Amino acid sequence: MTKQKKFITCDGNQAAAHISYMFSEVAAIYPSRLLRLWLSM
């Protein structure tokens, strides 16, 4: 079974907002792991 990828057409502002929203959802779930990753850069 392969997962079908969903593609949408959008402008740069909408793409940035979508990625930012998705990152904030993950950051709320795994805050310490993401903080350590960000500090190690």
What lies within 8 Å, CB to CB, of 10 at 6+ separation is 18
Q: What is the share, in percent, of the chain residues with pLDDT greater than 70? A: 68
| 7-22: pLDDT as tens digits | 878 899 998 888 888 7
Within a 13 Å sphere around the CA of 26, how many CA atoms are in the beta-carbon half?
9
pTM for this prediction: 0.44
**Backbone phi and psi for residue 30, each to the nearest 5 degrees, phi listed first:** -120, 65
Amino acid, single-letter form, for residue 30: Y
How high is the mean pLDDT of the chain? 77
pLDDT for res 26? 66
Position 28 confidence tier, pLDDT thresholds 50, 70, 90: low
